[in-house]
């Protein structure tokens, strides 16, 4: 009898990251049908260490993946499990996004004294380090004040309890995965607050030269619906992405008749927003999803009147560590 193969899974060490890693571990074990073991390896990333400044000033999304990327390059781990919205739209050359887990609730939650943005007290202070969330809040309520909140889910809830803000916003996906959705005063509709691209999806990266048995095992965990959404939303972000820091959101969803998608870019203060929407008739292919994401990005760019060439473009600084 051959010895069971072990998949070494890399992850950040926060409660949410570990919950997501264990979810993937269970999923790959079940998909393999036996003969496969898993081992979880935790890493402290640069982004976990830098908590005194906004993400865009600290270096961006790559702060939460580069240690794991490097570990895969060195062969220290076989796969890495990430909240997809923490993953840069351009991966390190040695990596591929090999699987996407079924999407959890993609919406944002309001934590605090009110269940909706409209019900927040006049001039309320809302803690968030997300440019997207700040701009969308101010687009709804210019009287609100956004202050920087960094850290994982538990850290931000602690800061809220200590009175650093009157309310905060977290992804419903992370709260659900942690069994903490009861902390939410209300769940915001995608019409009120369009989610970040990839929100609610767990992405799994794999070395391009991984052995075939590992590629096959990881492939069995992939969810087709989540993959379509990931492709469309990341295509939108990729087409608009660059060095400039701009609030940006994208959300793709399947319907009974096909699929729909919305994407938007806002000014920092939320006083202007450029939005595009589109649909696909019939069951979309991966190619359809990619085309729709790119098309909506070009529509937004045309409305916003900036060049899609090599000049400055939007860069999404969404909050880390809330899925």
Q: Give catalytic residues, as residue numbers.
A: 86
Token couple for 59 = 């270096």
Any alpha helices (H) in the chain, and if so which ranges?
15-32, 46-49, 55-58, 66-73, 131-140, 153-161, 172-177, 212-219, 224-240, 286-304
Q: What values do phi and psi take at 154, rounded to 5?
A: -65, -40
Q: 149, 164 in Cβ contact below 8 A?
A: yes
* Cβ atoms of 294 and 142 closer than 8 Å: no
CA pair distance 236, 104, nearest whole angstrom: 20
Q: What are phi and psi of 74, to 5 degrees?
A: -85, -5
Residue found under tokens 């992939």? 222
Tokens of 19: 């919950």
């Amino acid at each position: 009898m051959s010895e069971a193969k072990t998949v070494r899974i890399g992850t950040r060490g926060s409660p949410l990251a570990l919950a997501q890693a264990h979810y993937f571990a269970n999923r790959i074990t079940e998909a393999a049908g036996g003969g496969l073991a898993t081992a979880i390896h935790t890493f402290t990333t640069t982004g976990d260490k830098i908590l005194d400044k906004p993400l865009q000033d600290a270096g961006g999304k790559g702060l939460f993946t580069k240690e794991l990327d490097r570990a895969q390059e060195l062969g220290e781990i076989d796969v890495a499990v990430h909240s997809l919205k923490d993953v840069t739209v351009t991966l390190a050359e040695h990596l591929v996004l090999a699987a996407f887990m079924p999407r959890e609730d993609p919406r944002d939650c309001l934590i605090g004294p009110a269940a909706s943005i409209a019900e927040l007290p006049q001039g309320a202070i809302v803690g968030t380090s997300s440019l997207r969330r700040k701009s969308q809040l101010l687009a709804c309520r210019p009287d609100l004040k956004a202050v920087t909140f960094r850290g994982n889910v538990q850290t931000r809830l602690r800061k809220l309890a200590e009175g650093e803000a009157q309310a905060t916003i977290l992804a419903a996906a992370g709260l659900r995965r942690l069994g903490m959705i009861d902390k939410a005063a209300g769940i915001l509709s995608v019409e009120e607050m369009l989610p970040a691209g990839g929100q609610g999806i767990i992405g799994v990266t794999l070395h391009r030269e991984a052995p075939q048995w590992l590629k096959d095992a990881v492939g069995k965990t992939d969810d087709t619906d989540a993959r379509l959404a990931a492709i469309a939303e990341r295509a939108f972000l990729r087409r608009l992405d660059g060095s400039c820091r701009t609030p940006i959101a994208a959300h793709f969803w399947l319907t009974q008749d096909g699929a729909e998608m919305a994407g938007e870019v806002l000014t920092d203060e939320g006083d202007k927003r450029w939005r595009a929407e589109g649909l696909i008739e019939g069951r979309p292919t991966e190619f359809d999803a990619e085309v729709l994401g790119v098309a909506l990005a070009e529509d937004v760019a045309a409305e916003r009147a900036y060049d899609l060439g090599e000049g400055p473009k939007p860069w999404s600084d969404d909050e880390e560590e809330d899925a």
